[in-house]
Structures are given as structure tokens and as C-alpha cells.
Structure 1
């Protein structure tokens, strides 16, 4: 009888302890809304679903609106301009120089920072108890991952799943077409003009470099030193690109296909001779947002019109 009582007592104790342990895990899980590791290597615990979000990069702003979280955005940077409704949102400085006082005034519960956001700004906001998630993608694949990171931090899971799946499918469609139809030796040389005077281009570890590669081209500046190297005309002519890409902003918003075709000495370049000059919106190729896939499709059409037109 005593043995039975002891066994029952041990069983009840075991059930009680198991219940306590399970309770601790459940309570701990319910103690926060989300826990993420951001691109800056920081673990960020977000206690409640953010209701007042500040974006410190135009790309983050675009992504938040694409994820249908735009109604919770209370602050954006100076050059955020897409979608148009963001022009009505309070500005909090530039991507390189955020206005900490303005950020504090807007009372955010989440700030999305960029890779170039000053560390002292992030530290200051953390000290004030404001959650900061840093994003710093370097290529198209990482851009898609960063959208998933934003969805975890904001709770827009279903919307992000739809967007990222579509983005991956569109990338796969282009890369598979390139793989089936283009030998490595057939990849055309491509130059992207960032600025006219002096001549600057996009080097390694830039979105543009990755876009050109995914689209089946060879960025002639891929081996250059630095992300935004300066190019001399002599080097450009020596590389002799077959495709010339540029954005209208590269010279006082006056760059066009016609103006490039008429440049002195440029007639010696293959791309100019064959009129393979294409103007692409600078924002879609430089912002880590869902529109990067639109940029990829435009670059693919420019590099391989026979495959994508």
C-alpha cells in the first residue's frame, strides 16, 4: 500500500514538474513577438508586433509597402520616393545621416537600419529601448532573404511568402534560360555607367554586378578594385563591351541612348557601333527591394534580346 502511494506520489510529481517545464517554455515563447538575427550579426528580440516603424533606407520602405505594412510606417529617409504615398510620410534624415532626434520624436517601436547606418545611431536607439533590425544584402539572393527577415520582424508572413516565391521563380526562369542557351564563352561583355564625368562603373559585390551575371553577361569591371571604380576611356575601349547600360541620373539627369551614341570617340566601342545602349532606372538596380527582379528582367533583355524579347 505504501509502495503504491509512493509510486502515485512520484507520478504526480513527475506530471507536475513536466507541466511546470512546459509552462516555462510556453510562457517564454509568448514573452516576445519575434526573435531574429539581422544582417549585422545581432540577435534582436521584438516583444510586441511593431505598430510604428521607421525605415532608414528607400529599399526598406519599398519592401514594407510591398508587404502591405505601409500603414505602420511613420518615418522614412529623404530619398524614399516609391510608392508615391511615401512622399507624405515624415522624413528622418538621409540614409547616411539619420536624424536621431526626429526618430525619437516619432516614437517608433521598430527601426529598420541599413548596412551604412552609423553604428552610433543604432547604439543610441538601442539604449533608448528601440528595437533596431539591420539589413545589408549584397546580391539578389540575399535581397530575397532580407525580405523574409523583414517579414519576421513585422509579422507580414503570408505576404512575404507570396512575394519571395514569385521573385525566386522569376530569377530561376532567367538563369535556367541562360544556362540552356548561353555557353560561358558566349557571354557578352557589359559595361554599366554610373557617372559620366569622370567615368564610374559598378564593380564587384554590387547588385548591378550580380544582375549582369544572372542575366548571362560579363561585367567588365567584375575584377576591378572597389565597388565603384573609376574607368578611363582607354580601359573602356580596351575591354570593348558589347552592351552599354546607363541610368539617366549619371550626368545631371541628361543621359540618354542618343547622347551616348553621339559621344566623341565612343564610336570605336562595339556596343555603340551596334547601338546596343540601354537606359535603366537607377532606383530599381540599386535598391534591395522586390523591384530588383524587374531590374534583372530588363538587364536580361538588354544582354540577350534573342532570348528574352
Structure 2
């Protein structure tokens, strides 16, 4: 005979196991799942990486090009690129959850998938701390909450340490270069600028409109940054970073403050962004020492 307290515990566990999952995404939309997702399609490389961090990697059945971290992500079926989705391929995977990227995926694509009755969670982490919340939500949606919550807690602790270490440093005016042609930077709305602020940097083009505005060489010269930081597309320092050496009147060039941070650790909204932030902070410390 089962004692009443034990019986009530078993009932509570059974109810919890079948409880509806309700999460609000970054657009304010409510996402409802009858049970944890087991067939997830990720529509951006950083989402794939964050899902693995949240303990839900084995539940991903489809993702997009350039989803290359961790190594296990490379074996997941592709459904096009984040900006050019193959909607038929997504639907064929019969996902019980799609996680999209507001500023990366076409809105029309997301609406089409939603019209087919597929649950969609849309993410847009514009601040570093948003990454922790995203991971927690992924854990809830995939039933890996214990893993996700631990990762989020560790992320917040490390973020607090970086802020305590670099938050009071003297400002360094920085030009952050995403690409050479067209010459592309980031505004203060982009998460990279949040990393710049954490390090005590001042984005010389922070007030521009859009997440990744184009600028001219003349505008960079006129802004006279104390440091130029480039990322590019690959893991190696881009050759075009040294193109700035011809402009010897720029403070960043005169002091040798031309720095590189690999894009995989500074341009993706994942726990590794703290690695890139720390690297950026170290570069700005070097710039301060060269004054």
C-alpha cells in the first residue's frame, strides 16, 4: 500500500511531466509547448551553439550553414542559410519547435513557418546578459533546464567578474570593423557594442542607425579612433586590417593599436562571447598602456 505523502509526490511528478511549457520570446510572443521539444530546428549558427550549451544539442534535427560549433553541430542536417532558408526542408523535418533570429532570418520566412502551425521562438539578444536568459529558455523548451540553468548561472558570474575588473577603466575610443568592402561597423544597438562598453570602450560610430551600418574611410579618419579592432569572417587576422597603416595621422595607427578578435567568439550570441569580450578588454588595456 502506497502511503499518502508518497502517492501525492508521484502525482505531482506526473502532473509536472505533462505540464504545458509557456515561454515568452524576445519579440514578446508567447510560445506554448505541450511537452519538451524533441525535434528542434535552429535557424542561426549562434542558436545551434547556444542549444548545445543548454544541454539540448541532441534534440536539434535541422540547422543552417556555418553551424560549426561544437563539432557535433557539423553533422546536423542543413536547411539552407539563415538569410536564405529552405522552407520545404524545414517543414519536412516535422519540427515540434523552431528557434529563429529576428534580425537574421527574413520575417516573411518566419511568418510562413508560423502559418503552418509550427511553434516558433524568436530570439534577439542585444545585450550580453540576454544570452543567459536565452539559454534558460532553451532549457525549459527542451526539458534540459538543470543543465541550462547551471550554464546561465556560470555565465552571469563570469560576466559580473569582467564588469568588476574593467568597468572603471578610462575610456578608449574604438572603431570596430566587421568587414572591408563595404566598410562595415556596428552601432550601439549591436551586442558587440555592449562588449565594448563593458571594457571601457567608446564606439565612435555608436550613434549610427541600424545594427551593422556602412561607413566611409573618410569618416573613420575624421573620428580618429585610439584603437581599431577587426573581426572579419575567419579565425585568422584579416590582412586588410593592416590597410590602415597608411593613415599614420590616426592615433590607433601611430600607437600600433590595430587589434583582432576572432569572429566566432565576439560575433555570436553564445557563452563564448565572454571569451571574445575578455580578449577585447585585454586589447583596450594594451591601448591604455601605450598612451
- The answer to whether residue 161 in structure 2 is matched with residue 173 in structure 1 is yes
Residues 262, 288 of structure 1: alpha-carbon distance in 2 compared, 3 angstrom cutoff: closer
The match for 1:92 is 79
Distance in 1 (CA, whole Å) between partners of 2:140 and 2:119 is 13
Deviations 1:149-175 (A, max 9, x none): 111111221111221112111111121
**Which of the numbers 136, 140, 147 marks the counterpart of 1:148?**
136
The match for 1:5 is none
Instruction: Give 1:224 deviation, angstroms.
Output: 2.1
What root-mean-square deviation, in Å, do the aligned CA atoms of Structure 1 and Structure 2 show?
2.6
**Which of the numbers 50, 60, 69 marks the counterpart of 1:73?**
60
The match for 2:6 is none
Distance in 2 (CA, whole Å) between partners of 1:118 and 1:32 is 32
The match for 2:230 is 246
Which deviates more from structure 2 when the two are superposed, residues 227-236 or residues 274-283? 227-236
Give the TM-score of the pair, scaled to structure 2. 0.85
**Which of the numbers 238, 242, 246 marks the counterpart of 1:255?**
238
Instruction: Give 1:205 deviation, angstroms.
Output: 0.4
Deviations 1:260-290 (A, max 9, x none): 3454632221111221221111122221111
Other structure's SS at 2:248 match: helix
Please tell me whether the aligned partners of residues 99 and 123 of structure 2 are also in contact (alpha carbons under 8 angstroms).
yes
Residues 36, 244 of structure 1: alpha-carbon distance in 2 compared, 3 angstrom cutoff: same
Please tell me whether the aligned partners of residues 203 and 222 of structure 1 are also in contact (alpha carbons under 8 angstroms).
yes
Deviations 1:89-119 (A, max 9, x none): 1101111222121111112111111114334
Which deviates more from structure 2 when the two are superposed, residues 294-303 or residues 196-205? 196-205
Instruction: Give 1:27 deviation, angstroms.
Output: 9.7
Unpaired stretches in structure 2, ≥5 consecutive residues: 1-11
The within-5 A match list for 1:198-277 is 198-249=182-233, 255-256=238-239, 260-261=241-242, 263=244, 265-277=246-258
The match for 1:278 is 259
Relative to its length, the structure with more helix (as a share) is 1
- How many residue pairs match? The answer is 276
Instruction: Give 1:31 deviation, angstroms.
Output: 5.2
Give the TM-score of the pair, scaled to structure 1. 0.81
Residues 90, 261 of structure 1: alpha-carbon distance in 2 compared, 3 angstrom cutoff: closer
Instruction: Give 1:126 deviation, angstroms.
Output: 3.5
Distance in 2 (CA, whole Å) between partners of 1:158 and 1:26 is 16
Instruction: Give 1:247 deviation, angstroms.
Output: 1.7
The within-5 A match list for 1:41-56 is 41-56=28-43
Other structure's SS at 2:229 match: strand
The match for 2:88 is 101
Unpaired stretches in structure 1, ≥5 consecutive residues: 1-24
Distance in 2 (CA, whole Å) between partners of 1:38 and 1:68 is 19
Deviations 1:236-262 (A, max 9, x none): 222211111002439xx7724xx5345
Please tell me whether the aligned partners of residues 301 and 307 of structure 1 are also in contact (alpha carbons under 8 angstroms).
no
Distance in 2 (CA, whole Å) between partners of 1:212 and 1:53 is 33
**Which of the numbers 280, 288, 292 marks the counterpart of 2:273?**
292
